[in-house]
Amino acid sequence: MKIVYKNIHLANSHTLAVYQANGGYKSVVKAMDMGCEEVIEEVKRSGIRGRGGAGFPAGLKWSFIPKNDPRPRYLCCNADEGEPGTCKDRDILRYDPHLLIEGMIICGFAVGAEQGYIYIRGEFYREAERLQAAVDEAYAQGILGDNVLGRGIKFHLAVHRGGGAYVCGEETGLIESLEGKKGQPRLKPPFPANIGLYGCPTVINNVETLASIPAIIEQGGAWYGNLGVPKSSGTKIFAVSGHVNKPGNYEVELGIPLKTLLEQHAGGVRGGWNNLKGVIPGGSSSPILPADLCATITMDYEALGKAGTMLGSGAVIVIDKSVCIVRAVARLSRFYRHESCGQCTPCREGTGWLAQIMERMEAGQGTHEDIDLLLDICANIGGKTICALGDAAAGPVLGAIRAFKEEFIYHVEHGRCMAG
Amino acid sequence: MNERSTVTSEAKPRFSEDALQQIQAIYRRYPADRRQSALMPILHLAQREFGGWLSRESLDYVAEFMGLPPIRVYEVATFYTMYNLKPVGRYHVQACTNISCWLCGSDAIMGALKNKLKIQPGGTTEDKRFTLAEVECLGACVNAPMMQINDDYYENLTVDKVAEIIDRLP
């Protein structure tokens, strides 16, 4: 079942001509006929949850925009794809930019936003060029502008490139950055739905979420809601990387068994299923699942939550038995230290401590006490910071100690890796 | 206008006509009273205009140009990794070593780059042709290992491919 990736294999799929030849921009017209309230209801009925990582129901988010408020409203698309392992939005941006634009026009119409911004990570230079070309095409055809498709609705759209900061993928960090400042997240509440960009009501959605909207309008929220499993409806793109025979972005219905995803879509684990050590199921900040759990787990928000990890951005990182978990976590800890914005002490200091201890553990200089110290630091970061970056830094450490504590102990006692 | 020698006017950063036009288009994207939003795009442009990096003088010029206190410009330029605060070579080679790339052999890719360019990450070749950097995830994980050279991604790398790519650069 392809919804978001339905066009990406077509030749010149990024052009307006190909997009329209395949039914593009018909959902905008339908949405305008339905009216904004009904569009929000339809999105609520679909049950679609935010595809960026937090999994918040999109329709509900839209409904939080205050009515009868004199301030301008804004729509921001989060295309700051930066969670290690995640590269699903990139293929939408470069192969089907009009699908995103259509989703944004519909959302803008539904919440009364007349200006949208696509905040794209700065390194995606070529993707930003593609996106800008698509925006220009849409303006030229009257799809964007003061009178969208002649319907008297205003929607303007601009592409804004980031500068290489993971934390700007956090929605309020993104807003700060879009305002021309350091991307340091804001304390919530107030939430962006009330005080967002320029102090105005703002909706922020991930690329994949917005790109799912045209199909929801076209085929109905009930149809979409029937895909996947209860509480995790619809399709999701899983970016499968690491030790599989066919790494790639795969769009499948939520609730698919992880084993099916890996074996039937991603070509199987390198060296066979029995060579699997573990899977990081939802981007680098989600705690790792050991192989025995991988055999039975399904890929939906609920199941992964119950297993003590999360669906996150849907970045599935597959790790085989040749890998030292301590070394893998040390690499991730280095990443979070680099990306902490420095605003909150537990995160700024904690990510530094985690990285240092993981480094000495990996170098064979760790002690038994260090394992407890790691856990203690994680406990002192978790839930004690403005944004989720701190929790994200703790996730891989906690997950690895929970599932592979023997490798940490081995490192302490033997001064080297158990594997590899 | 500065009436002194051309050396001075060359050394002093100044946006080209083309850049000035692009800046007008950038300003139009944001509400008229929210011009600071244009700072990041203008810094990206300034970096392109002024030799691939942003000197203190360039930052001051941008601040003056936009009518912002210099500190607003410094704090943004130093927060984001894509603004180079030191000169970089003509080719900025950035190899990802984060988890997915590392699992797929980025250590060997980084090794090949060091061998080929004979510099360490953070270094620039003597002829100023290459700067090598180790970077965090660039979002092309299913095509790991990968690197970025200036604006372009190079994916599904092998040690042989790396040498070939470097050799083919004009």
| Beta strand segments in chain B, E | 91-96, 130-135, 147-149, 152-154
Whether pLDDT at B12 is above 90: no
**Helix H or strand E segment including A204:** strand A202-206
Whether residue B36 and residue A87 make contact (CB cut-off 8 A), yes or no, is: no
B128 CA: distance to closest CA in chain A (Å): 22
Average pLDDT score over chain B: 94
Strand partners, A158: A117
Please give the angle made by the CA atoms of A342, A348 and A351, to the nearest 5 degrees.
Answer: 135
Q: Assign B97 to helix, strand or coil.
A: coil
Report d(CA B87, CA A147) in Å as an integer: 46
What mean pLDDT do residues B63-80 have? 98
Phi-psi region of B121 (alpha: psi -120 to 50; beta: other; left: phi over 0): beta
Contact A181 B36 (CB under 8 A): yes
Yes or no, beta carbons of A178 and B38 under 8 Å apart: no
Q: CA of A226, closest CA in chain B: separation in Å?
A: 29
The proportion of chain A whose per-residue pLDDT surpasses 70, expressed as a percent, equals 100
Distances (CA, A) of A346 to A188, A328, A337, A351, A401: 17, 23, 12, 8, 20
Run of H or E residues at A370: helix A368-381
By C-alpha distance, which of A130, B113, B76 is closest to B121?
B113
On whether the CB atoms of residues A382 and A394 are closer than 8 A, the answer is yes
Q: In this structure, are residues B75 and A195 in contact, taking their beta carbons and an 8 Å threshold? A: no
Listed residue (A57, A53, A131, A63) closest to A91, CA to CA: A131
B133 pLDDT higher than 50: yes
> Class of the B17-79 domain?
mainly alpha
Answer yes or no: do B81 and A125 touch at CB < 8 A. Answer: no
Confidence of residue A419 (pLDDT cuts 50, 70, 90): confident
Out of A161, A178, A335, closest to residue B98 by CB? A335
pLDDT exceeds 90 at position A31: yes
Whether residue B81 lies within 8 A of chain A, CB to CB, comes out as yes
pLDDT digits (tens, 9 = 90+) for A377-394: 999 999 999 999 999 999
Q: Where in chain B is the domain with CATH 3.40.30.10?
A: 91-168
CA neighbor of A105 nearest in space, from A65, A147, A66: A147
A interface test, pick of B22, B79, B97 with most A CB neighbours within 10 Å = B79
Task: Name the closest residue on chain B to residue A240, using Cα atoms.
Answer: B142
Residue B105 backbone zone (phi > 0: left; psi -120 to 50: alpha; other: beta): left
pLDDT digits (tens, 9 = 90+) for B72-119: 999 999 999 999 999 999 999 999 999 999 999 999 999 999 999 999
What confidence tens digit (pLDDT) does each residue in A161-213 have? 999 999 999 999 999 999 999 999 999 999 999 999 999 999 999 999 999 99
Yes or no, beta carbons of A165 and B144 under 8 Å apart: no
> Is 50 exceeded by the pLDDT of residue A105?
yes
> Mean pLDDT, to the nearest integer, of B126-154?
98
**Bridge partners of residue B132, in order along the sequence:** B93
Any CB–CB contact under 8 A between B79 and chain A?
yes
Residue to mutate among A157, A167, A241, with most B CBs inside 10 A, is A241
DSSP SS3 for A79: strand
* Cβ contact, residue pair A84, B76, below 8 Å: no
Q: What is the arithmetic mean of pLDDT over A324-338?
A: 97
Measured in angstroms, the CA of B19 and the nearest CA of chain A are apart by: 17
Kindly give the pairing relationship between strand A289-290 and strand A115-120: unpaired
What's the pLDDT score for residue B11? 66
Residue B36 in contact with partner chain A when CB distance is under 8 A: yes
Asked if A198 and B34 come within 8 Å (Cβ–Cβ), the reply is yes
Q: pLDDT category, A418, cuts 50, 70, 90?
A: confident
Within chain B, which residue ranges are assigned CATH 1.10.10? Answer: 17-79
Q: Which residues in chain A touch residue B39, judged by CB atoms under 8 angstroms apart?
A: 180
On whether any CB of chain A is under 8 Å from the CB of B30, the answer is: yes
As a whole number, mean pLDDT of residues A12-28 equals 98
pLDDT over 70 (residue B2): no
Cβ–Cβ of B72/A85 closer than 8 Å? no
Which of B76, B80, B141 lies nearest to residue A87, judging by beta carbons?
B141
Segment holding A159, helix H or strand E: strand A156-161
In this complex, the residue of A84, A121, A161 whose CB is nearest that of residue B98 is A84
Query: Does domain B91-168 match CATH 3.40.30.10?
Result: yes
The whole-model pTM stands at: 0.96
Average pLDDT over all residues of chain A: 97
Check pLDDT > 50 for residue B47: yes
User: Which chain A residue has the Cα nearest residue B107?
Assistant: A331
- Choose from A87, A95, A160, A280 for mutation: most chain B CBs within 10 A: A87
The pLDDT value recorded for residue A216 is: 98
pLDDT greater than 80 at residue A32: yes
Which of the four pLDDT bands, split at 50, 70 and 90, describes residue A420?
low
User: Does residue A245 have a pLDDT over 50?
Assistant: yes
**Chain A residue numbers touching B143 (CB-CB < 8 A):** 87, 247
Count of helices and strands (H, E) across chain B = 8, 4
Q: Do residues A305 and A282 make contact, with C-beta atoms less than 8 angstroms apart?
A: no
- Per-residue pLDDT tens digits for A59-104: 999 999 999 999 999 999 999 999 999 999 999 999 999 999 999 9
Which helix (H) or strand (E) segment holds residue A316: the answer is strand A315-320
The average pLDDT across A102-111 equals 98
Please work out, in degrees rounded to the nearest 5, the angle formed at the alpha carbon of residue A390 by the alpha carbons of A285 and B75: 115
Q: Do B142 and A163 touch (CB under 8 A)?
A: no
B84 interface with A at CB cutoff 8 Å? no
Which pLDDT belongs to residue B8?
A: 39
Q: Which residue type does B88 have?
A: V
CB–CB contact A87 B142 (8 Å): yes
pLDDT at B32 over 90: yes
